[in-house]
Structure formats: C-alpha cells, structure tokens
Amino acid sequence: MSETTNNKIHIVNIVVFCILLLAGGVASLAMKKEKVSVMENRTLASFPEYSDSMLWSGKYFRKINEYYADNFPLRDQWMSVSNKFRNIIGFKSSEITIYGGVDNPEANEKPDTLVDKINDGPLPDDGAVGEKKKGVFVFKSRAFEMFGGGPGIGKTYADVINSYNQLLSPQGIQVYNLIIPVALEFELTEKYAKMQKPNRPAIENIYNSEDANIKKVWAIDSIRQHRNEYIYFNTDHHWTSLGAYYAYKAFCVQAGLTPVNIDTVAFKVKPSFLGSLYRLTRDPSLEKNPDSVRYFLFKDSVSFYIGSNQIGSWSKSKMYGEGAKGSNSYSVFLQGDLPIVKMEKQHKNGRKIAIVKESYGNAFAPFLINNYEKVIVVDQRYYTGDFIKMLKAEGINELLFINNIFAAHTPFHINKIKGLKK
C-alpha cells in the first residue's frame, strides 16, 4: 500500500471519529434526559448548580462528569450489552460461577407448629447447578438471598419484642410476632445444603426467647406446605401476594380468625417485573424469567389514609399504588414504604390492629382488612412519631411485628423497632 493511500485512510479514520464524537455530543445535549433509570432503579444525576466553593473544591467538575456518565445517549441499551459481555467472561468452575462478590444490602415454650415438619430441609439433588453471584445464589433461573444470622442477634430481636409486650400487655394489647423465612429455605437441594443456615431453628430460637403470652405465628410451616407454588418472586427478594396469603392464614390460626378465601376475590396483575436481585446481578437467566405482581381487590368498603408524625393527622388516599410498574411493581402494595398508613372498613367488630413491618409487610397487610375494622401499618424504618401514644389514640388492641428473617437478625432493623418506643 502506498504512503499516499495510507495517509488518506488515516485522514478518513480521523474524520469519521470526529463525526461520531460530534454526533454523540450533539445527541447527548439534544436528547431528552431521563430522571430515573428503570434498569438500575435509581435517580440519575442532574446537572450541578455552580458555586465558587464547588468549583475550587473540584466537586463541580466531578458532578458534571457524573451527569454525563448518567445521561449519555442510549445508556440503558449500552449497559445491557455490557452486562451480557461481563456474564460471558465470568470465571467459571464446573459447579459454581464466581463473580466479584459484594455484601448484600438488604438478615421459653415449645413451638406450637401448625403442621408436621413434612419435607423440612433440603430437597433431593436433581442435578441442577447453581451460581453464586454478588452475594446472591442463582439457581434454576431464580435468585435467592442466603441467610446466615446467629442465635445471639436473634435473641436481641426477641428481647426488643418482649419489651413491647411487657409495656403493652398490661394495657390489654395482644402482641404477635411473625418471622418470614427466606425463599431459599424451600428451594435448596441436598447438593447445596450448606449454602445458608436453616431458617426454622433460627425462628425457633427467637420464639423460644420470647414471653409466653406473645403469640408466635409459624408462617414457615404454612408456607412450606405450598413450596411448589409461586410464593416468592424469581428476580426479587420479596414474597408474592400468595406467599403473604399463606402467612396470613397462619396468623389467623393464632388470632382466632377465619381467613378470606382468595379464590373468590378479584385481582389485578402487573406483568414484566424484574426485581432487586436481577438489578443486582444482571443475570441473563433471570431476565428471561420475569415476575408478575398480583394484588387482590377486596369487596368490603375500605377507606385508606396516609398519616404523619402528628397523631390524628390523616389524608385520604388509595390502598394500592396503581401507577407502580416495571422494576417498581412491588410498590403497588400500600403505595410502597410509607411511614404510616391506615385502613378502615364500615363493618365494626371491635378489633383494631397495628402492624410494625419492613417492606415484606406491604403485601401482607391488605389481607387483614377482611378481619379487622382498623389496620394501622407502621414502617419501622421511617416512622418517627410517638408510636405508643398513637396506639392509644387509635384504640389499638392488637399489635403484630412482622419481619423477614434477615431483618430479625440485623442490628439496623432491631434498633429501628426499639426506637419506636420512646
């Protein structure tokens, strides 16, 4: 090839590169900017406001860099291609695929079990191979958190529940406790039996450490009977409304209630839900196995209110966040993680319950409107009002603490529950 031809090729390459660079810059400025990334379920960076202090500290240009990193053209499409490429080059062994792991953010009476412990433990090995990815176990095109909490922290949780019982029981308030097992409890095969600590002994440790007059709900036994049903999401760490329903039925046994028959209840479905564990792992097998979120439309006339830290201050609203969609579909329940909400129905029976929960409780709480004239739901993470005074003002006579097994073994959640009692 002659030198002249070679120079022409270099010039063409430079021109093409400059054109692409210019086109990308113009597109970046001209295209509509999204405020939220659906793929990552987070707010994208906005262009920073100028200030002298920001400029001289260097933060101003770093913020600009973050803005352009979050707003380049076709960002989600490029990220999808990048994630698929990273999945291809993951380091694999014959049994487990190991990726760069990170800590997963979001852990004195004999138990009166509802059922005999049939199939209590790992399932027989069926040859299926799992993958451990970013602190998550990916198995059979589903993703699972792995529980590892110890008995000491479980007893600390029990002590906090006891403190509420000792304060409120003399006032005529019945206290319940319901610990929700993790999905992997029902899906592990013998091959991966050591992947997590068994949930039932951990729950038993908590219940045995609680006061005798606290009513313990053995949801794990009720759920286990339906382990082959769609009780937990494939791509998200939460349970489905069906899993919550089986826990509700176990609660009704302890509370002396007749559970509603969901076969007679109308419902709606939000399709194409790729949840938190998909967003964490970007595993392609999860992307091909999306979830759907079903929520029930109970016939009884229900009034729904959003509260505040000010006692007696309620604003009327709707029980379901119908606008929730995509990666936020689980937020349809109770409109997401609001600090405090209230549900009331016209038919009175004298039973008024408060629920202290984290996000698992959102799918559970609506079922109780079939049995109580008033249901108040408090998110232990966000409510900062006078909880005890609120219970008295609303005439509450029953109190349920409902937490997933991770929350019941996590100091953050335990301290938040304790902090409600000022």
Q: Is this model's pTM higher than 0.85 or not? A: no
Residue numbers of the domain that contains 45 = 3-79
Predicted confidence at residue 19, as pLDDT, reads 86
pLDDT class of 23 with cuts at 50, 70, 90: confident
148 and 38 in a common domain? no
Query: What is the H or E stretch that residue 389 is in?
Result: helix 387-393
148 and 67 in a common domain? no
- Buried residues in 409-420 as b, exposed as e (16+ CB within 10 A): bbeebbebbbeb
Quick check: is 184 in a domain? yes
216 and 146 in a common domain? yes
Quick check: is 121 in a domain? no
48 vs 386, which has greater pLDDT? 386
Query: What is the H or E stretch that residue 122 is in?
Result: none
159 and 11 in a common domain? no
Rounded Cα–Cα distance for residues 334 and 322 (Å): 10
CB atoms within 10 A of CB 310: 10
136 and 67 in a common domain? no
Q: Could you give the number of structural domains in the chain?
A: 2
Cβ–Cβ under 8 Å, residues 340 and 385:
yes
213 vs 53, which has greater pLDDT? 213
Task: Check whether 1 has a pLDDT greater than 70.
Answer: no
Q: Which amino acid is at 406?
A: F
Quick check: is 92 in a domain? no
311 and 220 in a common domain? yes
Task: Check whether 118 has a pLDDT greater than 60.
Answer: no
355 vs 82, which has greater pLDDT? 355
70 vs 373, which has greater pLDDT? 373
166 and 68 in a common domain? no
Q: Where are the alpha helices (DSSP H) in 31-127?
A: 52-57, 59-70, 75-88
Q: What is the pLDDT of residues 271-324, one digit of tens each?
A: 999 999 999 999 999 999 999 999 999 877 789 999 999 999 999 999 999 999
Nearest to 318 by CA among 308, 301, 297, 304: 304
Rounded Cα–Cα distance for residues 263 and 259 (Å): 12
Quick check: is 296 in a domain? yes
Please identify, among 79, 99, 118, the residue that sits at the C-terminal boundary of a domain. 79
Quick check: is 384 in a domain? yes
Three-point CA angle 368, 372, 377, nearest 5°: 55
Three-point CA angle 341, 347, 349, nearest 5°: 90
151 and 41 in a common domain? no
50 and 145 in a common domain? no
Quick check: is 105 in a domain? no
> Which residues have CB under 8 Å from 262's CB, separation 6+?
245, 296
Determine the angle formed by the axes of helices 151-168 and 199-208, rounding to 10 degrees: 40
Read off the DSSP letter of residue 306: E
201 and 56 in a common domain? no
330 and 225 in a common domain? yes
Quick check: is 379 in a domain? yes
Quick check: is 91 in a domain? no
